[in-house]
Amino acid sequence: MAENWRGKIGAMTPGRRDFYLEGSAVARISAVNEQGFPHVVPAWYHWDGSSFWFVLRERAEIAAILAERPQIGLVIDEGSVKDEANGRMFEMPKVWAQGLAEVVERPNIGGQWVEIAKLMALRYLGPHGPEYITASINQPRWLFKVEPTVLKTWEGTGWAKKYWVENDKSLTYDDAHGLSRSGD
């Protein structure tokens, strides 16, 4: 069994992944610009259980890139996460995905993006979320939807076994990860 400080090591179950994605970690979204370089920015997101939603400012460079080249990569990760109320904890949680960003709305005021932006503002800013949205409600925004074609998760302070190279100069995978060996 893994040592407590390492947390659960391995892929998250879908329920655990969804619970984590309801938290306040920020996504980093990436697209390739016209010069062929990655353009990576932090962004709030909304996860509906099968798709990521992004509300981006009209003048956000990443929005213009995604409108032209919809291939997107995203990562959501952070250090330790504790939720005392539910008795859950994540050590080094990571979610990464790839897909195509669908333009649901081009920049507008008062569109479908408003409700999603309100949900995100409450989640990220708590009681000050409504103030934030009210102050910027008349600023045009894009609405993008990303249904991942690749969606992977990991948690815990440890390596996936597929990356571990057994050799005579390092500990075994089990020893390095604090796993007990039954039958020894």
What pLDDT, on the 0 to 100 scale, is given for residue 184?
46
pLDDT, tens digit, for every residue of 18-30?
988 998 999 999 9
What pLDDT, on the 0 to 100 scale, is given for residue 30?
98
DSSP sequence for 120-156 = HHHHHHGGGHHHHHHHHTTS-EEEEEEEEEEEEEEBS
CATH number of the domain at 4-159, out of 3.40.1190.20, 1.10.260.40, 3.40.1640.10, 2.30.110.10? 2.30.110.10
Upper half-sphere CA count for residue 121 (Cβ side, 13 Å) = 19
Q: Are 77 and 95 in contact (CB under 8 A)?
A: yes
Residue of 180, 181, 6 whose CA lies nearest to 93: 6
67 vs 157, which has greater pLDDT? 67
What pLDDT, on the 0 to 100 scale, is given for residue 132?
94
Cβ–Cβ contacts within 10 Å for residue 136, how many?
12
Domain boundaries, the chain: 4-159
Please, which pLDDT band fits residue 84 given cuts at 50, 70 and 90?
low
pLDDT, tens digit, for every residue of 32-62?
999 999 999 999 999 999 999 999 999 999 9
